[in-house]
């Protein structure tokens, strides 16, 4: 069955992922052919957290398809500042729009919103949890550049604890084979246990590194990330982690000739300016690919689901329900949400934020 909402990259069935990639390539080749493909359609962009690139690229994507965009980029100027619940905002906005995209600082917010949204909902980042449209760009760029997402040596470097892009990418790559993942971080910013378990499943392998030097010569892909300042409890905690990992020309001189360097952007100080001019730096192409993939996604969802089918309102949480143990989980912020969990390998996880219960 085709997917309706994109909360997690794994919502896209394998066959549909190939179709989305072909559509994105076709849009990249001849964008004019698609310039009125979404004429008359409205995209709602609900950004509860600052964003430049993602928001602009969704806006540009819809406009290049001939559609229009409504929404907010600062919840302080919307009814959210008056105390409106996520559920009410989503219910109303989804009567105005044909497709909605939401970024929210709270983990699991996108899944929660999708329960009440009458039109397809795209997760543009939910706290430190997931960022599936970035993952689409990452997976597409890796297969475009390397011809595959299997049997590769892939380094992920920086804030592996708080970075939602690496969590999302780890989930997507975990269904591939024969990869070795070099996780380069400080002890404080290591990849969460859940993602490490995913990455080391099947015939994939995980190697923990404290420096880029330990593995740079082995890598086919190096995914650099920014230290996520906004997720630290204090400025001094952030300062203690900032500037530790810097990819410079010296390190690049020891890397493979066909290495590709990716970054979800924005980058701060983790890549020096000279590296931007190295042809192995592919992050600007990666960002451009994200635009074509978002166009392909919006077009697919608008065509498949003029109205979300199977929508049903779920019951309000009973007063005695337990809340998730993760303080950043949406169920601790939007108290009407029902308790939803799932079981995997004998353990129970929160359906919203995927933390172990």
Please give the angle made by the CA atoms of 44, 49 and 53, to the nearest 5 degrees. 70
By the rule CB under 6 A, 317 interacts with ligand NCD: no
Tokens matching residue 269: 């100080």
Selected from 129, 164, 167, 333, the binder of ligand NCD by CB under 6 A is 164
Instruction: Write each residue from 116 to 145 as x if it is in contact with ligand NCD (CB under 6 A), else as -, in one continuous string.
Output: ---------x-----x--x-----------
**Catalytic residue from among 25, 28, 53, 280:** 53
By beta-carbon proximity to ligand NCD, the closer residue of 67 and 264 is 264
By the rule CB under 6 A, 229 interacts with ligand NCD: no
Least CB distance from residue 111 to ligand NCD, whole Å? 17
Pairing relationship of beta strands 341-344 and 221-224 according to DSSP bridges: unpaired
**Catalytic residue from among 41, 64, 87, 103:** 103
| Site for ligand NCD, residues 11 to 70, rule: CB under 6 A | 53-54
By the rule CB under 6 A, 71 interacts with ligand NCD: no
Pairing relationship of beta strands 121-126 and 205-209 according to DSSP bridges: unpaired
Residue 180, φ and ψ in degrees, nearest 5: -110, 125
Kind plus residue range of the DSSP H or E element containing 42: strand 42-47
With beta carbons less than 8 A apart as the criterion, state whether 53 and 266 touch. yes
Please give the angle made by the CA atoms of 104, 110 and 112, to the nearest 5 degrees. 120
By beta-carbon proximity to ligand NCD, the closer residue of 136 and 265 is 265
> Is 239 noted as a catalytic residue in this protein?
no
> Is 54 noted as a catalytic residue in this protein?
yes
Selected from 10, 114, 165, 174, the binder of ligand NCD by CB under 6 A is 165
> Is 131 noted as a catalytic residue in this protein?
yes
Tokens matching residue 200: 């080391």
By beta-carbon proximity to ligand NCD, the closer residue of 125 and 155 is 125
By the rule CB under 6 A, 226 interacts with ligand NCD: yes
Q: How far is CA 96 from CA 43, 71, 90, 93, in A?
A: 9, 10, 10, 5
Least CB distance from residue 337 to ligand NCD, whole Å? 23
By the rule CB under 6 A, 87 interacts with ligand NCD: no
Kind plus residue range of the DSSP H or E element containing 229: none
CA distance 150 to 286: 19
Least CB distance from residue 89 to ligand NCD, whole Å? 21
Q: How many residues bind ligand NCD (CB under 6 A)?
A: 10
| Site for ligand NCD, residues 90 to 119, rule: CB under 6 A | none
Tokens matching residue 44: 């709602």
Q: What is the dihedral of CA 234, 350, 58, 91, to 10 degrees?
A: -110
Interface positions with ligand NCD (CB under 6 A): 53-54, 125, 131, 134, 164-165, 226, 264-265
């Amino acid at each position: 069955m085709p997917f309706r909402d994109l909360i997690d990259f794994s919502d896209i069935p394998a066959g549909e992922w190939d179709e989305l990639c072909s559509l994105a390539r076709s849009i990249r080749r001849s964008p004019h052919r698609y310039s009125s493909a979404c004429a008359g359609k409205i995209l709602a962009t609900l950004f509860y957290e600052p964003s430049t690139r993602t928001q602009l690229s969704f806006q540009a994507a819809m406009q290049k398809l001939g559609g229009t965009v409504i929404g907010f980029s600062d919840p302080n100027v919307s009814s959210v500042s008056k105390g409106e619940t996520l559920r009410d905002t989503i219910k109303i906005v989804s009567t105005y729009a044909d497709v909605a995209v939401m970024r929210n600082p709270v983990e699991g917010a996108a899944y929660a919103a999708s329960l009440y949204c009458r039109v397809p909902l795209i997760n543009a980042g939910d706290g430190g949890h997931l960022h599936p449209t970035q993952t689409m760009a990452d997976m597409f760029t890796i297969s475009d550049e390397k011809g595959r997402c299997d049997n590769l040596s892939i380094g992920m470097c920086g804030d592996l604890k708080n970075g939602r892009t690496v969590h999302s990418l780890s989930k997507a790559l975990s269904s591939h084979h024969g990869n070795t993942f070099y996780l380069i971080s400080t002890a404080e910013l290591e990849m969460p246990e859940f993602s490490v378990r995913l990455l080391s499943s099947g015939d994939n392998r995980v190697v923990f590194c404290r420096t880029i030097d330990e593995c740079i010569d082995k890598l086919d892909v190096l995914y650099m990330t920014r230290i996520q300042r906004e997720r630290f409890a204090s400025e001094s905690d952030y300062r203690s982690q900032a500037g530790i990992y810097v990819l410079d020309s010296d390190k690049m001189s020891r890397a493979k000739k066909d290495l590709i360097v990716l970054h979800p952007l924005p980058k701060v100080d983790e890549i020096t300016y000279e590296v931007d001019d190295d042809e192995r730096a592919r992050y600007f192409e990666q960002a451009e690919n994200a635009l074509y993939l978002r166009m392909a996604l919006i077009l697919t969802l608008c065509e498949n689901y003029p109205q979300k089918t199977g929508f049903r309102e779920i019951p309000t949480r009973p007063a005695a329900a337990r809340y998730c143990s993760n303080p950043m989980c949406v169920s601790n912020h939007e108290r009407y949400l029902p308790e939803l969990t799932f079981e995997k390998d004998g353990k129970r996880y929160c359906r919203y934020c995927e933390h172990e219960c």
